[in-house]
Amino acid sequence: MSTCHFTVGQAIVEFLIAQHAERDGVTRPFFEGVFGIFGHGNVAGLGEALLAARHRLRFYLPRNEQAMVHTAAAFAKMHNRLQTFACTSSIGPGATNMVTAAAGATINRVPVLLLPGDIFATRRSAPVLQQLESSSSLDVSVNDCFKPVSKFWDRINRPEQLAPSLLEAMRVLISPGETGAVTIALPQDVQAEAFGFPAELFEKRTWHVPRRRADAGAVEAAVDLLKSSTRPFLIAGGGVIYSEACDALRRFVERTGMAVGETQAGKGALPFDHPQSAGAVGVTGTSTANRLARDADVVVVVGSRLSDFTTASSSAFANPGVRFISINVAELDAFKRGAIPLVGDARVTLDELETGVRGFRVSDAYARDVREWKAEWEAETDRLFRGTGASVLSQAEVIGTLNAALDPRDVIVCAAGSLPGDLHKLWRSRDAKGYHMEYGYSCMGYEIAGGLGVKLAAPDREVFVLVGDGSYLMMAQELATAIQEGVKITVVVFDNRGFSSIGGLSASVGCAGFGTEYRRRDASGDLDGESLSVDFAANAASLGAKATKAADAGSLRRAIADARAARETTVIVVPVDRNARVPGGERYESWWDVPVAETSTLKAVRDARSVYEQGRRRQRFLL
Ligand SMILES: Cc1ncc(C[n+]2csc(CCOP(=O)(O)OP(=O)(O)O)c2C)c(N)n1
Ligand SMILES: [Mg+2]
Q: How many other C-beta atoms can be found within 10 angstroms of the C-beta atom of residue 601?
A: 7
**Euclidean distance between CA atoms 472 and 466, whole angstroms:** 10
List Cα–Cα distances, 47 to 86, 92, 130, 539, in angstroms. 13, 17, 19, 32
> Which ligand places an atom closest to the C-alpha of 417?
1
Q: How many other C-beta atoms can be found within 10 angstroms of the C-beta atom of residue 22?
A: 15
Please, which residues have CB within 8 angstroms of residue 167's CB and are 6 or more apart in sequence?
A: none
How many H-runs (helices) and E-runs (strands) does the chain carry?
23, 23
Q: How many other C-beta atoms can be found within 10 angstroms of the C-beta atom of residue 270?
A: 26
Q: Do 419 and 442 contact (CB within 8 A), yes or no?
A: no
Checking if the pLDDT of 360 tops 90, the result is: yes
Q: Is the CB of 162 under 6 A from ligand 1?
A: no
Alpha helices in 509-602 (DSSP H): 536-542, 553-565
Q: Is 485 exposed, middle or buried (0-12, 13-18, 19+ CB in 10 A)?
A: middle
Q: Which helix (H) or strand (E) holds 49?
A: helix 46-52
Give the E-state strand segments of 323-462 in sequence order. Answer: 323-328, 340-343, 411-414, 435-437
Beta bridge partners of 183: 114, 153
Q: Do 52 and 10 contact (CB within 8 A), yes or no?
A: yes
Q: Is the CB of 415 under 6 A from ligand 1?
A: no
List Cα–Cα distances, 46 to 9, 155, 492, in angstroms. 4, 15, 36
Return residues with CB closer than 5 A to ligand 2 (ion). Answer: 468-470, 496
Q: Is the CB of 398 under 6 A from ligand 1?
A: no
Checking if the pLDDT of 572 tops 90, the result is: yes
Q: Is 95 exposed, middle or buried (0-12, 13-18, 19+ CB in 10 A)?
A: buried
Q: Residue 325 Cα, ligand 1 centroid: separation in angstroms?
A: 34
Please, which residues have CB within 8 angstroms of residue 287's CB and are 6 or more apart in sequence?
A: 373, 376, 377, 380, 587, 588, 589
What is the pLDDT, as a whole number, of residue 252?
A: 98
Q: Provide the pLDDT confidence category of residue 297 given band limits of 50, 70 and 90.
A: very high
List Cα–Cα distances, 458 to 254, 432, 440, 454, in angstroms. 30, 13, 22, 6
Average pLDDT of span 182-201: 98
User: What is the separation, in whole angstroms, between the first and last Cα of the chain?
Assistant: 55
Per residue, the 3-state secondary structure of 205-238, as one string, reads EEEECCCCCCCHHHHHHHHHHHHCCCCEEEEECH
Give 3's Cβ-side CA count (13 Å radius): 9
Q: Which helix (H) or strand (E) holds 433?
A: none
> Which ligand places an atom closest to the C-alpha of 438?
1
What is the pLDDT, as a whole number, of residue 1?
A: 82
Average pLDDT of span 80-109: 98
Residues in the chain: 623
Q: Do 476 and 543 contact (CB within 8 A), yes or no?
A: yes
Average pLDDT of span 361-372: 98
What is the pLDDT, as a whole number, of residue 317?
A: 97
> Which ligand places an atom closest to the C-alpha of 582?
1
Checking if the pLDDT of 227 tops 90, the result is: yes
- Select from 607, 80, 583 the least CA-distant residue to 377: 583
Q: Residue 516 Cα, ligand 1 centroid: separation in angstroms?
A: 9
Q: Residue 384 Cα, ligand 2 centroid: separation in angstroms?
A: 19
**Of all atoms in ligand 1, which is nearest to the CA of residue 501?**
19
What is the pLDDT, as a whole number, of residue 601?
A: 98
Average pLDDT of span 193-210: 98
Q: Residue 475 Cα, ligand 2 centroid: separation in angstroms?
A: 14
- Select from 83, 64, 62 the least CA-distant residue to 73: 83
Q: Residue 502 Cα, ligand 1 centroid: separation in angstroms?
A: 7
**Euclidean distance between CA atoms 385 and 425, whole angstroms:** 12
What is the pLDDT, as a whole number, of residue 115?
A: 98
> Which ligand places an atom closest to the C-alpha of 467?
1
What is the pLDDT, as a whole number, of residue 448?
A: 98
Mean pLDDT score across all residues of the chain: 97
Q: Provide the pLDDT confidence category of residue 129 given band limits of 50, 70 and 90.
A: very high
Give 469's Cβ-side CA count (13 Å radius): 24
Q: Is the CB of 395 under 6 A from ligand 1?
A: no
Q: Residue 493 Cα, ligand 1 centroid: separation in angstroms?
A: 13
What is the pLDDT, as a whole number, of residue 8?
A: 98
Q: Which helix (H) or strand (E) holds 247?
A: helix 246-256
What is the pLDDT, as a whole number, of residue 32?
A: 98
Pairing of strands 546-549, 570-575: parallel
